[in-house]
Structure 1
Amino acid sequence: MRVLPFAPANPAPAPAQRRVMIIANPAAGSLKQRRLNRTLLGLEKLGCTVGLRETAKPGDATLMAREAALAGNVDVVVAAGGDGTINEVANGLAGSGVALGVIPLGTANVLAIEAGIPRDPGKAAQVIATGVLRKLYLGEVRASAETPLAGPRRFVMMAGAGFDAHVVDTVDLALKRKTGKLAYVWCTVQRAFSYDFPLCAVDIDTPDGRTIHADVATAVVCNGKYYGGPFIAAPLADISHPTFQVILLKSPGLRHVARYALALAMGRLPRLPDVEIIEATRVRIALQGAQPLQADGDTVAHMPVDIVMAAEPVSLIVPAPAA
C-alpha cells in the first residue's frame, strides 16, 4: 500500500483538503485490509493527503499518534482497527489538538457505534474528509502506591473491574482473532464456573459532592452508552459530557452473570433491581489481590485504582448533521 507524502503545513485547510495519517494493524486480516484499502482510496478521491503507518506491537499506535501530532503536518490521525487501536491512538493525541478519526475494523467498534461512524469504507472516508468535530472526553486510570503505573492510562469508552475484567484478562487472543465477540461469550461461560466472585469495594464521587460506597460483583465505569457492541448499558452516558455513568452489578455468581448478560442483550440491564447506575466525577475501586482492571477491552492496570476524567478532551470527527 502506498504511503503518500504530506503537503507542507498550511493554516485551516478546508475539510476536503485534510491531511490524514492512518495508523493500522497489519495483522488485522485480509478482509479488513481490503476495507482499509478502499477507505484510503476513498480519501484520496475526496482530495485528502493520506499517509499510512502500520503497527508492529502494542503501544506503537500511541507513539505513532504522538509523533504525528508533534510533527504538526497532519489535521487528522485515524485509528484503523478496533477499540484497542482507537484507545492507543486517543492516548497519543490527548492534549494535542489534532483530531481523531476512526475506520471501524474491530470486534466491537463501540466508539463508532456511539458516534454514528459507518463501517462502510466509502462512507467512513466521507466522514473523515468532511465530518465535523465533537468533543470526546477520556477517562483516566491512575494507579495507587501499591500498583504503580508508568503514567496515567486513558480510556475512551469504559473501564471495568470484577468479573468483567477477569474475562477480558483471560480471553484466548488467538480465538478472539478467529471468532471475534464469540471468544468473549465462550470465555464468559468458562470463567463463570471457576471464578470465585470477590466483591469490588467502590467509592464514587458524584457531581453534587457526595461520596457513595458500594460492594459489588462488577463495576463498569462508562463514558458512553454502549457496552460490547450495539448494547445499551448506560442510557444517560455521553462521550461529550465530562462525567461518567458507573454501572454497579451487585449480585455475584454464575446465575447472575447469565441474567445480566441476557438483560444486556435485551436492552433491559438498567431496569434490573440489583443494578444501579450512578453519575460520577471520580471512582476508586479496590479488590482483594492484584485483580485486573480492563479499559476498552484490554487489561491496563491492577487494583486498587483511581479513575477520573482526563483534563482535556480529544476532538473526534463524526458525521456532519443532515442538511
Structure 2
Amino acid sequence: MTSNDIAVLANPRAGRGRHRGLLPGVVDRLASSGRAVRMLSAATAEEAEKACHRAVAEGIGALVAVGGDGTLHRAMQAVAGTQVGFGVVPAGTGNDFAAGTGVPGDPLKAAEAIAAAVREGRATPIDLARVTTAQGDVRWFGAVLAAGFDAIVNERANRMRWPRGPRRYDLAIALELTRLRPRRYSLILDGADRSFTGVIVAIGNCRSYGGGMLICPDADPSDGLLDVVIAGPLGRGAIARLKPRLRRGTHVTDPAVTSYRAREIKITSQDIIAYADGERIAPLDLVVSCVPGALRLLR
C-alpha cells in the first residue's frame, strides 16, 4: 500500500446481510476520490483489527469501515490518535456512531462524502473515549459504554446459543430482570466523588446505543466531554417503564436518573463487564477519558 491508498474493512454479515450486494457500489464511489482502493482481508474480528493496524503501519492515506458499530469499533482502534483519515459507511443494524457524528445514513451517499473529503483534503476532528483497564490495556470507543444492567444483558446474550437474532437479546433481558439488583458503584468524575447505588451506568461520547436508544441525549462528540447517565435502585417495573422513554431521550427527566459531564471517569464495581459500541471491553475497574479530536472523520 502507498500513502495515497484507501484501505476498506467490510463486514459482509453486518445488518444481518441486507447490504451484502452493496460493496461494489461503495468501492466505485470511493475510487472517485482518485485514490487506489484496497480491501482488507480477515476471517475474524480479531484478524480484522490486526489488518487495520497493519494498514495504518504501512502508511495508508485513509481507512474506511463498512458495517455496523462493531466493525467501526475494530477499525477505530487502528486510527485513534493518528493523522489517518477515517471513513464510515453505515451498513449495520445500529449505526449509532454514524448517526451521532453526522454521517449520511445511506451507505452510498456516505461513500460519496468520504471520496469528496479525500479529494478536498479535509477531515473533521471528532472526540473519542479512551478506556484504560485495570491491567493497563487501552481501548477506544466512539458511541457509548454501558456498565450497568445493559452490560449484564449483553454478557448474558453472548453466552447464549439460542435463539438467534434479536430474540436472543429479548430473552436475555427477561432472564436478567428476574435477577435484577442494585449495585454499589464507585464513580469519580474529574476528581469529584459521585459514587452511588443503582442499576444503570452509561458513558456517552455520542447520544445513542442499541440502534437509536438515546441513553445520553445531550452528548456531543466535539465538546471535549463525556456524558455520564446513571439511574438509582430501580425495580423491574420501573425499568420496564423507563425503556420506551430511551427512544426519545426523555428518561433523563425521571427523578431516579442523574446526568453529569466529565473529562475523566473512574468507575469501579463488582462482577460487571463493560461493553462499548456493543463490543465486550473489560471488567471494571476502568478509567474512561475524553480525547478531543482523536479521530479525523471523513464525511
Q: TM-score, normalised by structure 2?
A: 0.88
Rounded Cα–Cα distance in structure 1 between residues aligned with 2:41 and 2:13 = 9
Give the CA deviation at 1:252: 3.0
Which moved further from structure 2: 162-171 or 41-50?
A: 41-50
Determine the structure 1 residue equivalent to 2:186: 202
1:238 aligns with 2:228: no
For residue 86 of structure 1, the aligned residue among 46, 52, 72 is 72
Determine the structure 1 residue equivalent to 2:107: 121
Rounded Cα–Cα distance in structure 2 between residues aligned with 1:152 and 1:200 = 25
Give the CA deviation at 1:257: 1.8
For residue 216 of structure 1, the aligned residue among 198, 202, 210 is 198
1:141 aligns with 2:131: yes
Give the CA deviation at 1:279: 0.5
CA contact (8 A) 2:128 2:142 kept: yes
Secondary structure of the residue that 1:171 maps to in structure 2?
helix
Rounded Cα–Cα distance in structure 2 between residues aligned with 1:69 and 1:255 = 48
CA contact (8 A) 2:144 2:208 kept: no
CA contact (8 A) 2:30 2:111 kept: yes
Determine the structure 2 residue equivalent to 1:40: 27
Secondary structure of the residue that 1:40 maps to in structure 2?
helix
CA contact (8 A) 1:113 1:229 kept: no
Consecutive unaligned residues in structure 2, runs of 5 or more: none
* Number of residues of Structure 1 aligned to a counterpart in Structure 2: 293
Counterpart amino acid of residue 175 in structure 2: Q
Determine the structure 2 residue equivalent to 1:13: none
Paired residues for 1:66-105 under 5 Å: 66-72=53-59, 74-105=60-91
Consecutive unaligned residues in structure 1, runs of 5 or more: 1-5, 11-18, 319-323
Rounded Cα–Cα distance in structure 1 between residues aligned with 2:48 and 2:231 = 33
Deviation digits for residues 236-289 of structure 1 (CA, Å, limit 9, x no counterpart): 31112221110001133311221221111233111111111101122222222x
Determine the structure 2 residue equivalent to 1:166: 152
1:106 aligns with 2:92: yes
Q: Provide the identity percentage.
A: 26
Paired residues for 1:275-286 under 5 Å: 275-286=257-268
Give the CA deviation at 1:45: 4.2
Counterpart amino acid of residue 24 in structure 1: A
Rounded Cα–Cα distance in structure 2 between residues aligned with 1:256 and 1:117 = 34
Deviation digits for residues 179-217 of structure 1 (CA, Å, limit 9, x no counterpart): 35x543443233212x242414132324xx643222221
1:227 aligns with 2:209: yes
1:187 aligns with 2:168: no
Rounded Cα–Cα distance in structure 1 between residues aligned with 2:224 and 2:48 = 25
Deviation digits for residues 130-179 of structure 1 (CA, Å, limit 9, x no counterpart): 135222222122222xxx25x21111111111211011112257679x63
CA contact (8 A) 2:184 2:269 kept: yes
Change (3 A) 1:54 1:25: farther
1:304 aligns with 2:288: no
Secondary structure of the residue that 1:256 maps to in structure 2?
helix
Counterpart amino acid of residue 302 in structure 1: P
1:269 aligns with 2:251: yes
1:53 aligns with 2:40: yes
Counterpart amino acid of residue 96 in structure 1: T
Paired residues for 1:14-25 under 5 Å: 19-25=5-11
Change (3 A) 1:310 1:56: farther
CA contact (8 A) 1:161 1:200 kept: no
Determine the structure 1 residue equivalent to 2:238: 256
Change (3 A) 1:220 1:200: farther
Give the CA deviation at 1:9: 3.9
Which moved further from structure 2: 83-92 or 252-261?
A: 252-261
